[in-house]
Protein backbone atom coordinates (compact mmCIF):
# COMPACT_ATOMS: atom_id res chain seq x y z
CA UNK A 1 0.00 0.00 0.00
CA UNK A 2 1.32 3.45 -0.95
CA UNK A 3 0.51 6.69 0.89
CA UNK A 4 -1.92 7.49 -1.94
CA UNK A 5 -3.97 4.43 -0.98
CA UNK A 6 -4.51 5.68 2.56
CA UNK A 7 -7.64 7.49 3.62
CA UNK A 8 -6.96 11.09 4.64
CA UNK A 9 -7.61 10.27 8.30
CA UNK A 10 -5.19 7.33 8.18
CA UNK A 11 -2.54 9.46 6.46
CA UNK A 12 -2.94 12.20 9.09
CA UNK A 13 -2.51 9.65 11.87
CA UNK A 14 0.68 8.29 10.30
CA UNK A 15 2.12 11.77 9.86
CA UNK A 16 1.48 12.62 13.51
CA UNK A 17 2.99 9.29 14.56
CA UNK A 18 6.13 9.97 12.51
CA UNK A 19 5.50 7.01 10.18
CA UNK A 20 4.84 9.18 7.13
CA UNK A 21 6.60 12.35 6.05
CA UNK A 22 4.19 15.23 5.36
CA UNK A 23 6.53 16.60 2.69
CA UNK A 24 6.58 13.26 0.87
CA UNK A 25 2.78 13.08 0.98
CA UNK A 26 2.57 16.61 -0.38
CA UNK A 27 4.89 15.86 -3.29
CA UNK A 28 2.94 12.72 -4.20
CA UNK A 29 -0.37 14.57 -4.37
CA UNK A 30 1.17 17.66 -5.91
CA UNK A 31 2.47 15.48 -8.75
CA UNK A 32 -0.95 13.86 -9.19
CA UNK A 33 -2.69 17.24 -9.22
CA UNK A 34 -0.23 18.74 -11.70
CA UNK A 35 -0.92 15.86 -14.10
CA UNK A 36 -4.71 16.39 -13.90
CA UNK A 37 -6.38 15.48 -17.21
CA UNK A 38 -9.96 15.81 -15.95
CA UNK A 39 -10.11 19.61 -15.82
CA UNK A 40 -10.62 19.29 -12.06
CA UNK A 41 -8.25 22.12 -11.10
CA UNK A 42 -7.93 25.78 -12.06
CA UNK A 43 -4.80 26.35 -9.94
CA UNK A 44 -2.24 24.01 -8.35
CA UNK A 45 0.27 25.11 -5.70
CA UNK A 46 3.90 25.21 -6.79
CA UNK A 47 5.32 24.44 -3.37
CA UNK A 48 4.11 23.32 0.00
CA UNK A 49 3.00 26.08 2.40
CA UNK A 50 4.55 26.07 5.84
CA UNK A 51 1.60 24.56 7.69
CA UNK A 52 2.02 22.76 11.01
CA UNK A 53 1.79 18.97 10.78
CA UNK A 54 0.90 18.29 14.40
CA UNK A 55 -2.69 19.52 14.03
CA UNK A 56 -5.69 17.20 13.71
CA UNK A 57 -5.41 17.21 9.90
CA UNK A 58 -1.78 16.12 10.12
CA UNK A 59 -0.32 17.86 7.08
CA UNK A 60 -2.68 16.11 4.63
CA UNK A 61 -3.21 18.55 1.71
CA UNK A 62 -6.69 19.76 0.81
CA UNK A 63 -8.25 20.92 -2.47
CA UNK A 64 -10.59 23.89 -2.23
CA UNK A 65 -13.44 24.89 -4.52
CA UNK A 66 -12.73 28.08 -6.44
CA UNK A 67 -15.73 29.70 -4.71
CA UNK A 68 -13.64 30.23 -1.55
CA UNK A 69 -11.47 33.32 -1.31
CA UNK A 70 -7.80 32.47 -0.74
CA UNK A 71 -5.39 35.35 -0.19
CA UNK A 72 -3.02 35.87 -3.09
CA UNK A 73 -4.36 32.82 -4.95
CA UNK A 74 -6.82 32.99 -7.87
CA UNK A 75 -10.40 32.87 -6.59
CA UNK A 76 -12.61 33.10 -9.66
CA UNK A 77 -15.89 31.28 -8.92
CA UNK A 78 -15.60 29.62 -12.31
CA UNK A 79 -16.39 32.94 -13.99
CA UNK A 80 -14.68 35.09 -16.59
CA UNK A 81 -15.86 38.17 -14.67
CA UNK A 82 -13.43 37.21 -11.86
CA UNK A 83 -10.69 35.72 -14.04
CA UNK A 84 -7.34 36.13 -12.30
CA UNK A 85 -8.86 37.78 -9.20
CA UNK A 86 -6.63 37.32 -6.15
CA UNK A 87 -8.40 38.41 -2.96
CA UNK A 88 -6.59 40.07 -0.05
CA UNK A 89 -8.10 37.69 2.54
CA UNK A 90 -8.94 34.01 3.04
CA UNK A 91 -12.32 32.43 3.77
CA UNK A 92 -12.79 31.41 7.40
CA UNK A 93 -13.46 27.76 6.47
CA UNK A 94 -10.17 27.58 4.57
CA UNK A 95 -8.25 29.36 7.32
CA UNK A 96 -9.52 26.81 9.82
CA UNK A 97 -8.39 23.92 7.61
CA UNK A 98 -4.92 25.30 7.04
CA UNK A 99 -4.64 26.18 10.73
CA UNK A 100 -5.52 22.57 11.59
CA UNK A 101 -2.65 21.34 9.45
CA UNK A 102 -4.06 20.88 5.93
CA UNK A 103 -1.95 22.81 3.38
CA UNK A 104 -3.74 24.21 0.31
CA UNK A 105 -3.01 21.88 -2.59
CA UNK A 106 -5.19 23.31 -5.36
CA UNK A 107 -8.30 25.26 -6.31
CA UNK A 108 -10.98 23.16 -8.00
CA UNK A 109 -13.06 23.87 -11.07
CA UNK A 110 -16.77 24.49 -10.66
CA UNK A 111 -19.93 25.66 -12.40
CA UNK A 112 -19.87 29.43 -12.68
CA UNK A 113 -20.90 31.00 -9.36
CA UNK A 114 -22.02 27.49 -8.30
CA UNK A 115 -24.90 27.54 -10.78
CA UNK A 116 -25.12 24.11 -12.37
CA UNK A 117 -25.44 20.38 -11.91
CA UNK A 118 -22.85 19.15 -14.40
CA UNK A 119 -19.75 21.37 -14.14
CA UNK A 120 -20.16 22.34 -17.78
CA UNK A 121 -20.90 26.01 -16.99
CA UNK A 122 -17.36 26.92 -15.95
CA UNK A 123 -15.57 29.65 -17.89
CA UNK A 124 -12.46 27.43 -17.55
CA UNK A 125 -13.90 24.41 -19.32
CA UNK A 126 -15.85 21.35 -18.19
CA UNK A 127 -14.75 18.74 -15.67
CA UNK A 128 -14.79 15.08 -16.67
CA UNK A 129 -15.94 12.18 -14.54
CA UNK A 130 -13.06 9.81 -13.65
CA UNK A 131 -15.38 6.78 -14.03
CA UNK A 132 -16.07 7.75 -17.66
CA UNK A 133 -14.33 10.75 -19.15
CA UNK A 134 -17.17 11.34 -21.61
CA UNK A 135 -19.59 11.96 -18.74
CA UNK A 136 -20.14 14.81 -16.28
CA UNK A 137 -18.99 14.68 -12.64
CA UNK A 138 -22.07 16.57 -11.40
CA UNK A 139 -22.02 20.09 -10.08
CA UNK A 140 -21.46 22.65 -9.01
CA UNK A 141 -18.61 21.19 -6.92
CA UNK A 142 -17.66 18.82 -9.75
CA UNK A 143 -13.96 19.64 -9.67
CA UNK A 144 -13.71 18.78 -5.97
CA UNK A 145 -15.68 15.55 -6.42
CA UNK A 146 -13.71 14.41 -9.47
CA UNK A 147 -10.37 15.22 -7.81
CA UNK A 148 -11.15 13.12 -4.74
CA UNK A 149 -12.66 10.24 -6.73
CA UNK A 150 -9.64 10.14 -9.06
CA UNK A 151 -7.10 10.28 -6.22
CA UNK A 152 -5.77 13.67 -7.32
CA UNK A 153 -6.46 15.03 -3.83
CA UNK A 154 -6.98 13.16 -0.55
CA UNK A 155 -10.04 15.27 0.30
CA UNK A 156 -11.65 18.52 -0.76
CA UNK A 157 -14.26 21.06 0.22
CA UNK A 158 -17.13 22.41 -1.81
CA UNK A 159 -20.34 24.36 -1.34
CA UNK A 160 -23.93 23.18 -1.43
CA UNK A 161 -26.79 25.54 -2.26
CA UNK A 162 -29.28 23.04 -3.65
CA UNK A 163 -27.21 19.86 -3.87
CA UNK A 164 -23.83 21.00 -5.15
CA UNK A 165 -21.85 18.78 -2.76
CA UNK A 166 -24.16 15.78 -2.58
CA UNK A 167 -25.04 15.39 -6.27
CA UNK A 168 -21.43 15.38 -7.60
CA UNK A 169 -20.44 13.10 -4.72
CA UNK A 170 -23.12 10.67 -5.91
CA UNK A 171 -22.07 10.84 -9.56
CA UNK A 172 -18.38 10.37 -8.69
CA UNK A 173 -18.78 7.60 -6.10
CA UNK A 174 -17.54 9.46 -3.00
CA UNK A 175 -18.97 10.90 0.23
CA UNK A 176 -20.42 14.41 0.29
CA UNK A 177 -21.87 16.17 3.35
CA UNK A 178 -23.99 19.31 3.49
CA UNK A 179 -24.00 20.39 7.14
CA UNK A 180 -26.77 22.27 8.93
CA UNK A 181 -27.05 25.82 7.61
CA UNK A 182 -24.87 27.97 9.83
CA UNK A 183 -22.61 25.18 11.06
CA UNK A 184 -19.72 26.56 8.98
CA UNK A 185 -18.96 30.23 8.39
CA UNK A 186 -19.79 31.62 4.97
CA UNK A 187 -17.28 34.45 5.36
CA UNK A 188 -15.07 34.48 2.27
CA UNK A 189 -17.35 32.19 0.27
CA UNK A 190 -18.30 34.01 -2.92
CA UNK A 191 -22.06 34.27 -2.53
CA UNK A 192 -24.68 32.65 -4.76
CA UNK A 193 -27.82 32.45 -2.58
CA UNK A 194 -26.98 33.60 0.93
CA UNK A 195 -29.84 31.90 2.78
CA UNK A 196 -28.92 28.53 1.25
CA UNK A 197 -25.13 28.41 0.67
CA UNK A 198 -23.22 26.10 2.99
CA UNK A 199 -19.69 24.69 2.85
CA UNK A 200 -18.92 21.03 3.41
CA UNK A 201 -16.49 18.15 2.81
CA UNK A 202 -16.11 15.79 -0.14
CA UNK A 203 -14.11 12.74 0.88
CA UNK A 204 -13.32 9.13 0.15
CA UNK A 205 -15.16 7.83 3.22
CA UNK A 206 -17.38 8.93 6.09
CA UNK A 207 -14.59 9.05 8.69
CA UNK A 208 -12.67 11.51 6.51
CA UNK A 209 -15.81 13.65 6.18
CA UNK A 210 -16.18 13.79 9.95
CA UNK A 211 -12.54 14.75 10.46
CA UNK A 212 -12.62 17.51 7.84
CA UNK A 213 -15.95 18.80 9.16
CA UNK A 214 -14.58 18.94 12.71
CA UNK A 215 -11.94 21.43 11.63
CA UNK A 216 -14.36 23.66 9.69
CA UNK A 217 -17.31 24.16 12.06
CA UNK A 218 -17.71 26.99 14.52
CA UNK A 219 -19.25 30.38 15.08
CA UNK A 220 -17.51 33.25 13.32
CA UNK A 221 -17.89 36.96 14.20
CA UNK A 222 -17.45 37.71 10.50
CA UNK A 223 -20.65 35.79 9.64
CA UNK A 224 -23.74 36.70 11.67
CA UNK A 225 -25.57 33.58 10.40
CA UNK A 226 -22.91 31.18 11.68
CA UNK A 227 -23.86 29.10 14.69
CA UNK A 228 -21.38 26.26 14.82
CA UNK A 229 -22.57 22.96 16.27
CA UNK A 230 -23.79 22.33 19.83
CA UNK A 231 -21.24 19.53 20.35
CA UNK A 232 -17.83 18.65 18.85
CA UNK A 233 -17.82 16.47 15.76
CA UNK A 234 -16.72 12.98 16.79
CA UNK A 235 -15.26 10.08 14.83
CA UNK A 236 -18.09 7.84 13.56
CA UNK A 237 -17.83 4.32 14.93
CA UNK A 238 -21.29 2.73 14.55
CA UNK A 239 -21.36 -0.73 12.98
CA UNK A 240 -25.11 -1.29 13.01
CA UNK A 241 -28.38 0.66 12.90
CA UNK A 242 -30.16 -0.86 15.87
CA UNK A 243 -32.72 1.58 17.23
CA UNK A 244 -32.49 3.86 14.18
CA UNK A 245 -35.80 4.80 12.54
CA UNK A 246 -35.62 5.52 8.80
CA UNK A 247 -38.37 7.20 6.81
CA UNK A 248 -38.65 6.52 3.08
CA UNK A 249 -40.72 9.24 1.40
CA UNK A 250 -43.55 8.02 -0.83
CA UNK A 251 -42.43 10.72 -3.28
CA UNK A 252 -39.34 8.64 -4.18
CA UNK A 253 -41.57 6.11 -5.91
CA UNK A 254 -43.95 8.67 -7.42
CA UNK A 255 -41.25 10.67 -9.19
CA UNK A 256 -40.76 10.36 -12.92
CA UNK A 257 -37.20 10.33 -14.19
CA UNK A 258 -35.61 8.11 -11.53
CA UNK A 259 -33.53 5.56 -13.40
CA UNK A 260 -34.35 1.93 -12.71
CA UNK A 261 -30.75 1.17 -11.71
CA UNK A 262 -30.73 4.04 -9.22
CA UNK A 263 -34.01 2.89 -7.72
CA UNK A 264 -32.80 -0.72 -7.50
CA UNK A 265 -29.63 0.37 -5.68
CA UNK A 266 -31.70 2.51 -3.32
CA UNK A 267 -34.10 -0.32 -2.46
CA UNK A 268 -31.18 -2.70 -1.90
CA UNK A 269 -29.60 -0.23 0.54
CA UNK A 270 -32.87 0.22 2.40
CA UNK A 271 -33.08 -3.56 2.78
CA UNK A 272 -29.47 -3.60 4.01
CA UNK A 273 -30.41 -0.97 6.60
CA UNK A 274 -33.15 -3.29 7.83
CA UNK A 275 -30.62 -6.10 8.15
CA UNK A 276 -28.43 -3.79 10.23
CA UNK A 277 -31.30 -3.31 12.67
CA UNK A 278 -33.02 -0.18 11.42
CA UNK A 279 -36.78 0.25 11.49
CA UNK A 280 -37.92 1.34 8.02
CA UNK A 281 -41.32 2.79 7.20
CA UNK A 282 -42.82 4.89 4.45
CA UNK A 283 -43.40 8.58 5.17
CA UNK A 284 -44.89 11.50 3.32
CA UNK A 285 -43.33 14.89 2.55
CA UNK A 286 -46.36 16.47 0.87
CA UNK A 287 -44.67 19.69 -0.22
CA UNK A 288 -41.38 18.16 -1.43
CA UNK A 289 -42.58 17.96 -5.06
CA UNK A 290 -42.82 21.78 -5.01
CA UNK A 291 -39.30 22.26 -3.66
CA UNK A 292 -37.61 22.58 -7.03
CA UNK A 293 -40.03 25.29 -8.17
CA UNK A 294 -39.58 27.23 -4.92
CA UNK A 295 -35.80 26.85 -5.07
CA UNK A 296 -35.58 28.20 -8.62
CA UNK A 297 -37.34 31.37 -7.47
CA UNK A 298 -35.53 31.89 -4.16
CA UNK A 299 -31.98 31.07 -5.28
CA UNK A 300 -32.04 33.19 -8.49
CA UNK A 301 -33.66 36.07 -6.58
CA UNK A 302 -30.83 36.07 -4.06
CA UNK A 303 -28.29 35.61 -6.85
CA UNK A 304 -29.58 38.63 -8.74
CA UNK A 305 -28.91 40.72 -5.65
CA UNK A 306 -25.54 39.15 -4.78
CA UNK A 307 -24.18 39.35 -8.31
CA UNK A 308 -25.07 43.03 -8.70
CA UNK A 309 -21.66 43.82 -7.18
CA UNK A 310 -19.85 42.61 -10.33
CA UNK A 311 -20.03 45.85 -12.29
CA UNK A 312 -16.45 46.39 -13.48
CA UNK A 313 -15.80 49.12 -10.93
CA UNK A 314 -14.14 47.50 -7.92
CA UNK A 315 -12.56 44.21 -9.00
CA UNK A 316 -12.55 41.63 -11.74
CA UNK A 317 -13.22 42.18 -15.42
CA UNK A 318 -13.78 45.69 -16.75
CA UNK A 319 -14.85 46.39 -20.32
CA UNK A 320 -14.46 49.93 -21.70
CA UNK A 321 -17.74 51.83 -21.81
CA UNK A 322 -16.47 54.71 -23.95
CA UNK A 323 -16.77 57.15 -21.03
CA UNK A 324 -20.36 56.05 -20.35
CA UNK A 325 -20.91 54.35 -16.98
CA UNK A 326 -24.05 52.41 -17.93
CA UNK A 327 -22.44 51.12 -21.13
CA UNK A 328 -19.44 49.97 -19.10
CA UNK A 329 -21.76 48.08 -16.74
CA UNK A 330 -23.61 46.44 -19.62
CA UNK A 331 -20.51 45.47 -21.57
CA UNK A 332 -18.69 44.15 -18.49
CA UNK A 333 -21.59 42.02 -17.30
CA UNK A 334 -22.43 40.88 -20.83
CA UNK A 335 -18.88 39.70 -21.46
CA UNK A 336 -18.17 38.42 -17.95
CA UNK A 337 -21.20 36.28 -17.12
CA UNK A 338 -22.00 33.01 -18.85
CA UNK A 339 -25.44 31.98 -20.18
CA UNK A 340 -26.62 30.11 -17.07
CA UNK A 341 -25.68 32.95 -14.73
CA UNK A 342 -27.45 35.45 -16.98
CA UNK A 343 -30.52 33.22 -17.06
CA UNK A 344 -30.70 33.06 -13.27
CA UNK A 345 -30.06 36.79 -12.81
CA UNK A 346 -32.97 37.53 -15.14
CA UNK A 347 -35.23 35.00 -13.40
CA UNK A 348 -34.37 36.43 -10.02
CA UNK A 349 -34.72 40.05 -11.02
CA UNK A 350 -38.16 39.32 -12.48
CA UNK A 351 -39.24 37.46 -9.33
CA UNK A 352 -38.26 40.46 -7.19
CA UNK A 353 -39.72 43.13 -9.46
CA UNK A 354 -42.56 45.41 -8.45
CA UNK A 355 -45.93 43.70 -8.82
CA UNK A 356 -44.43 40.19 -8.90
CA UNK A 357 -42.59 39.96 -5.57
CA UNK A 358 -45.49 38.55 -3.56
CA UNK A 359 -46.72 36.29 -6.35
CA UNK A 360 -43.33 34.67 -6.94
CA UNK A 361 -40.64 35.24 -4.32
CA UNK A 362 -43.11 35.65 -1.45
CA UNK A 363 -45.04 32.52 -2.39
CA UNK A 364 -41.82 30.52 -2.79
CA UNK A 365 -40.79 31.48 0.74
CA UNK A 366 -44.14 30.24 2.06
CA UNK A 367 -43.55 26.91 0.30
CA UNK A 368 -40.11 26.80 1.90
CA UNK A 369 -41.74 27.11 5.32
CA UNK A 370 -44.17 24.30 4.51
CA UNK A 371 -41.26 22.05 3.46
CA UNK A 372 -39.51 22.77 6.77
CA UNK A 373 -42.76 21.92 8.56
CA UNK A 374 -42.95 18.60 6.68
CA UNK A 375 -39.49 17.65 7.94
CA UNK A 376 -40.30 18.72 11.50
CA UNK A 377 -43.34 16.43 11.40
CA UNK A 378 -41.16 13.60 10.05
CA UNK A 379 -38.71 13.92 12.96
CA UNK A 380 -41.49 13.05 15.38
CA UNK A 381 -41.52 9.53 13.90
CA UNK A 382 -38.08 9.11 12.33
CA UNK A 383 -34.42 9.75 13.04
CA UNK A 384 -33.53 10.17 9.36
CA UNK A 385 -35.21 10.45 5.98
CA UNK A 386 -33.52 8.56 3.14
CA UNK A 387 -33.70 9.00 -0.64
CA UNK A 388 -31.53 8.44 -3.69
CA UNK A 389 -29.13 11.37 -3.98
CA UNK A 390 -29.50 11.87 -7.73
CA UNK A 391 -32.29 10.49 -9.94
CA UNK A 392 -29.68 9.39 -12.50
CA UNK A 393 -26.09 8.27 -12.78
CA UNK A 394 -23.57 10.53 -14.51
CA UNK A 395 -24.89 11.56 -17.92
CA UNK A 396 -22.89 12.30 -21.09
CA UNK A 397 -21.23 15.67 -21.53
CA UNK A 398 -23.56 17.97 -23.45
CA UNK A 399 -26.62 15.76 -22.96
CA UNK A 400 -28.62 18.35 -20.99
CA UNK A 401 -26.99 21.70 -21.76
CA UNK A 402 -29.76 22.69 -24.19
CA UNK A 403 -32.54 21.80 -21.74
CA UNK A 404 -32.31 23.79 -18.47
CA UNK A 405 -35.34 22.04 -16.95
CA UNK A 406 -33.80 18.59 -17.49
CA UNK A 407 -30.62 19.88 -15.85
CA UNK A 408 -32.50 21.36 -12.88
CA UNK A 409 -34.27 18.03 -12.24
CA UNK A 410 -30.92 16.55 -11.18
CA UNK A 411 -31.44 18.37 -7.86
CA UNK A 412 -34.91 16.94 -7.20
CA UNK A 413 -33.87 14.90 -4.14
CA UNK A 414 -31.34 17.36 -2.70
CA UNK A 415 -33.17 20.71 -2.84
CA UNK A 416 -35.76 20.02 -0.08
CA UNK A 417 -33.01 19.59 2.54
CA UNK A 418 -31.34 22.81 1.40
CA UNK A 419 -34.56 24.79 1.72
CA UNK A 420 -35.09 23.37 5.21
CA UNK A 421 -31.47 24.08 6.25
CA UNK A 422 -30.96 20.53 7.56
CA UNK A 423 -27.87 18.31 7.24
CA UNK A 424 -27.71 15.59 4.61
CA UNK A 425 -25.01 13.19 3.48
CA UNK A 426 -24.54 11.18 0.28
CA UNK A 427 -22.64 7.90 0.35
CA UNK A 428 -21.91 5.64 -2.64
CA UNK A 429 -24.18 2.58 -2.59
CA UNK A 430 -23.48 0.68 -5.78
CA UNK A 431 -23.10 0.82 -9.54
CA UNK A 432 -25.63 1.11 -12.34
CA UNK A 433 -24.33 0.76 -15.89
CA UNK A 434 -20.85 0.64 -14.26
CA UNK A 435 -21.38 4.15 -12.85
CA UNK A 436 -21.82 5.09 -9.17
CA UNK A 437 -25.14 5.68 -7.47
CA UNK A 438 -25.67 7.61 -4.24
CA UNK A 439 -27.75 7.11 -1.10
CA UNK A 440 -28.81 10.22 0.84
CA UNK A 441 -29.55 10.39 4.56
CA UNK A 442 -31.01 13.61 6.00
CA UNK A 443 -31.52 14.41 9.67
CA UNK A 444 -32.75 17.20 11.94
CA UNK A 445 -30.73 20.37 12.33
CA UNK A 446 -27.46 19.82 14.24
CA UNK A 447 -27.69 16.01 14.07
CA UNK A 448 -24.34 15.69 12.27
CA UNK A 449 -22.81 13.19 14.69
CA UNK A 450 -25.77 10.81 14.55
CA UNK A 451 -25.97 11.25 10.78
CA UNK A 452 -22.28 10.43 10.33
CA UNK A 453 -22.61 7.38 12.57
CA UNK A 454 -25.54 6.01 10.56
CA UNK A 455 -23.74 6.69 7.29
CA UNK A 456 -20.61 4.97 8.63
CA UNK A 457 -22.53 1.82 9.56
CA UNK A 458 -24.13 1.66 6.11
CA UNK A 459 -20.83 2.42 4.37
CA UNK A 460 -19.13 -0.53 6.10
CA UNK A 461 -21.95 -2.89 5.16
CA UNK A 462 -22.11 -1.71 1.54
CA UNK A 463 -18.36 -2.07 1.00
CA UNK A 464 -18.26 0.16 -2.07
CA UNK A 465 -14.96 0.03 -3.96
CA UNK A 466 -14.05 3.27 -5.68
CA UNK A 467 -10.55 2.24 -6.75
CA UNK A 468 -11.57 1.96 -10.42
CA UNK A 469 -11.81 5.76 -10.62
CA UNK A 470 -8.29 6.15 -9.17
CA UNK A 471 -6.60 3.87 -11.70
Task: Please state, in angstroms and rounded to a whole number, the distance separating the CA atoms of residues 382 and 371.
Answer: 16
Q: Angle at CA 150, nearest 5°, toward 148 and 154?
A: 35
Report in angstroms the alpha-carbon separations of 418 from 96, 162, 166, 362. 24, 5, 11, 18
Confirm whether 214 is a catalytic residue: no
Three-class SS of 290-317: HHHHHHHHHHHHHHHHHHHHCCCCCCCC
Catalytic residue at 195? Answer: no
Burial class (CB in 10 A: 0-12, 13-18, 19+), 462: middle
293 tagged catalytic: no
Q: Of the residues 144, 164, 226, 418, which is catalytic?
A: 164
Q: Quick one: three-class SS letters along the chain?
A: CCHHHCCHHHHHHHHHHCCCCHHHHHHHHHHHHHCCCCCCEEEECCCCCCCCCCCCCCCCCEEEECCECECCECCCCCCHHHCCCCCCCCCHHHHHHHHCCCCEEEEECCCHHHCCCCCCCCCCCCCCECCECCECCCCCCHHHHHHHHCCCCCEEEEEECCCCCHHHHHHHCCEEEECCCCCCCCCCECCCCCCCCEEEEEECCHHHHHHHHHHHCCCECCECCCCCCCCCCCCCCCCCCCCCEEEEECHHHHCCCCCHHHHHHHHHHHHHHHHCCCEEEEECCCCHHHHHHHHHHHHHHHHHHHHHHCCCCCCCCCCCCCCCHHHHHHHHHHHHCCHHHHHHHHHHHHHHCCCCCHHHHHHHHHHHHHHHHHHHHHCCCCCEEEEECCCCCCCECCCCCCCHHHHHHHHCCCHHHHHHCCCEEEEEEEEECCEEEEEEEECCCCCHHHHHHHHHHHHHHHCCCCHHHHC
From 140, 170, 185, 304, the catalytic residue: 140
Which residues pair with residue 438 across a beta bridge? 428
Catalytic residue among 65, 107, 178, 400: 65
Phi then psi for residue 109, to 5 deg, are -65, 155
Q: Which positions are catalytic?
A: 65, 140, 164
Amino acid sequence: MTPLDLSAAAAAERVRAGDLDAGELWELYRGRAAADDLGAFVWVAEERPGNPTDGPLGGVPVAVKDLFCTAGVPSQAGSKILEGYRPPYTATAVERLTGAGAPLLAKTNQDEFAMGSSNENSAFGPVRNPWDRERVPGGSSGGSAAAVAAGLAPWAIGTDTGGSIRQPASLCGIVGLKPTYGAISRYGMIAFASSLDQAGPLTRDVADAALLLSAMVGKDPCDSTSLGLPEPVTEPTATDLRGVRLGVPEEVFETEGVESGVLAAFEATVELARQLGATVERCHLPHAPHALSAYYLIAPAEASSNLARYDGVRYGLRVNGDADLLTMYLRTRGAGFGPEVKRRIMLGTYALSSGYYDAYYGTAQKVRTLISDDFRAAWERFDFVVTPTSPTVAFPLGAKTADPLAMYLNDYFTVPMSLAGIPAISIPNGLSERLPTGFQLAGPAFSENRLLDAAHALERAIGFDGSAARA
